[in-house]
Structure 1
C-alpha cells in the first residue's frame, strides 16, 4: 500500500472515510485470507469511527465472525 496524506474538514468526514477504508480492507482480506486482523486504539479520538463501524452500512459489510480485534 502506497502511503498517502489526506486532509479532512471535520472529524465526522475523517471518521466516515476511515470506516469506508476499513470496510473495504476487511472485505478484501477476508476474501483473500479468510480473516481480517485489526488493531484498535483507545481514548476518545477514534470513538466516532468505532460508532460508524458499529452501524449500517459498515456493520453489515464487515464480517465480524472473521475479524480478529
Structure 2
C-alpha cells in the first residue's frame, strides 16, 4: 500500500528535529516488535546534528534498543 506524501512545516529546526527523532523511535519500536531488528543509516555532516542529539538523549534514547 502506497501512502500519500505528507508535507509538514515547522517553526524551528529544534521542533523539526524532535518530531523526526520521535518518528524514528516509533518506527524502531514497531519494527523491533515485528522483526526483532531495525536498521538505521545515518548521514554525515552538520545538517542532522540536532536530530542525532535528540536521538542520543533521554527520553528518546531509552525507547530505542541500540544493540
Report the counterpart of residue 54 of structure 1 in structure 2.
56
1:18-37 map, 5 Å: 18-37=20-39
Whole-angstrom distance in 1 between the partners of 2:19 and 2:51:
9
Report runs of 4+ in structure 1 exceeding 2 Å deviation.
none
The partner residue of 1:11 within 6, 10, 13 is 13
**Which one has the largest radius of gyration?**
2
Backbone CA RMSD of aligned residues: 1.0
Q: TM-score, normalised by structure 1?
A: 0.89
